[in-house]
Amino acid sequence: MKQWLRLGRLVPLFGIMMLGLIGCGNEQISALQPQGKGASALFDLMILSLAIMVVVLVVVFILFGYVLVKFRHRKGDDSIPEQVEGNHLLEVLWTAIPIVLLIVLAVPTVITTFDLDVSEKSAQATEEGGEPAEEEGPMTIKVTGHQYWWEFEYPDQEVVTAQELYLPVDERVNVELSSADVIHSFWIPSISGKMDTNPGDKLTNKMWLHPEKTGTFQGACAELCGDSHALMYFKVKVVEREEFDAWIESMKNTKFDDAPSEVAQGQEIFEQNCLQCHAVGDQGGNVGPALTGFADNDMVAGIAEHKKENIKKWVNNPQEMKPGNNMPDFNFNEEQLDALADYLMELETAE
């Protein structure tokens, strides 16, 4: 009985711990501050499992502490304790109770597993008659992991971008994940759980995202993918639907030739050296990240503050900032570098 009383005293402590967990870390990246439906569902499951497990911990620790204090050897006591073989009732008890606890955890686990699956969720959404953007259902975004950057393609809207994922708020979008080289893992902790991007057409993965708050969030690669695995961050920009539509529109309307004439020199350098890998507007290759609207990005190369200095640093020595990445070193002179950086700083999307 006494033990149960002691256990009761721990309940408020337990509540405080829960409150402590909520609000842990930076809200842009913490899984403990969910900002989307996926992350919320996972957070609830985490709290449920934690609650059950803390009960187990408390029971075991109290029992254990009691035994250690009560049954320690005392000096001069050479008697031999009773050699107990075991106790059937106890064995049954500590087999049965954990089974019950695990069933309590297993049921929501399985339900959530199916809830988070794309096919289930899409079907359910159609039944509910929600308000998906396109009439066929949720919008699809294709995510491709590269060493060490992220490509985001909006196939229906014919927009390709990199390193910054735009999402409309309060809407579910489906994501198709694949990789151009090794296995990466796509993770936006505050919006949803992670999923791997596998190489090969047959291993494309699907998941959904459903952000519930506007703002900028942090995404990361969670599967060891090479030397700069730790530098493979991306930004997630959750915006209102109108703003999203406007962004799509301006991305589509951006042309390579839109650049202002003051940076013509930089544009020429870009055309000769960079365009075969990096797309801008309607032109360019897809080996490197697309740079349409680069001027509005938060980061250079996903990791450095967006300023001219860092662009110059990156272009002439990309290996120093992101070891092992696939961009060749360019040995531009200072004047060329300035012109190029000026040009890149002017890469805005069409009005």
Partner 1 sequence: MSNAHAANKSVLWDWLTTVDHKKIGILYLVSGGFFFLVGGLEAVLIRIQLMNPEMTFLTGNLYNQVLTMHGTTMIFLAAMPIIFGFMNAVVPLQIGARDVAFPFVNSLGFWLFFFGGVLLNLSWFLGGAPDAGWTAYAPLSTTSTGHGVDFYVLGLQIAGAGTLMGGINFLVTIINMRAPGMTFMRMPLFTWTAFVTSGLILFAFPALTIGFFLLMFDRVFEANFFDANMGGNAIIWEHIFWIFGHPEVYILILPAFGIISEVVATFSRKRLFGYSAMVFATVLIGFLGFMVWAHHMFTVGLGPVANSIFAVATMAIAIPTGVKIFNWVFTMWGGKIRFTTANLFSVGFIPTFVMGGVTGVMLAAAPADYQYHDSYFVVAHFHYVIVGGLILGLFSGLYYWYPRMFGLMLNEALGKWNFWTFFIGFHLTFFPQHFLGLMGMPRRYFTYPEEFGLGSLNFISTIGAVFMTVGTIIFIINVVVTHAKGKKVSGDPWDGRTLEWAIPNPTPHYNFLQTPLVRGLDALWIEKMAGNKKMTPAEPVGDIHMPNNSILPLIMSLGFFIAGFGFIYYSSAGAPALIAIIVGLGIGLACMFLRSWIDDHGHHLHKEDLLKEDKGVDA
Q: Which residue in 162, 165, 209, 220 binds partner 1 (CB under 8 A)?
A: 220
C-beta of 109 vs 253, nearer to partner 1: 109
**By the rule CB under 8 A, 183 interacts with partner 1:** yes
- Per the document, the length of the chain is 351
Query: In the bound complex, what is the minimum distance in angstroms from residue 168's beta carbon to partner 1?
Result: 22
| Binding positions for partner 1, 199-218, rule CB under 8 A | 199-203, 205-206, 218
**By the rule CB under 8 A, 3 interacts with partner 1:** no
- Residue 255 near residue 178, CB atoms below 8 Å: no
Using CB under 8 A as the binding criterion, the count of chain residues that bind partner 1 stands at 97
**By the rule CB under 8 A, 29 interacts with partner 1:** yes
Sort 212 into a burial class: Cβ within 10 Å, 0-12 / 13-18 / 19+: middle
Q: Which residue in 160, 165, 221, 301 binds partner 1 (CB under 8 A)?
A: 221
- Residue 344 near residue 311, CB atoms below 8 Å: yes
Distance CA 169, CA 237 (A): 9
Query: In the bound complex, what is the minimum distance in angstroms from residue 312's beta carbon to partner 1?
Result: 20
**By the rule CB under 8 A, 172 interacts with partner 1:** no
Q: Which stretch binds partner 1 (CB under 8 A): 86-94, 238-246, 250-258, 337-345?
A: 86-94
Q: Which stretch binds partner 1 (CB under 8 A): 9-17, 167-175, 178-186, 255-263?
A: 178-186
**By the rule CB under 8 A, 87 interacts with partner 1:** yes
Q: Nearest to residue 303, comparing CAs of 226, 190, 222, 220?
A: 220
Which residues does 120 contact at the CB level (< 8 Å), separation at least 6?
A: 114
Distance CA 57, CA 347 (A): 56
Query: In the bound complex, what is the minimum distance in angstroms from residue 72's beta carbon to partner 1?
Result: 5
Distance CA 46, CA 105 (A): 10
Q: Tokens for 233?
A: 């961050």
Query: In the bound complex, what is the minimum distance in angstroms from residue 200's beta carbon to partner 1?
Result: 3
Distance CA 199, CA 220 (A): 18
**By the rule CB under 8 A, 125 interacts with partner 1:** no
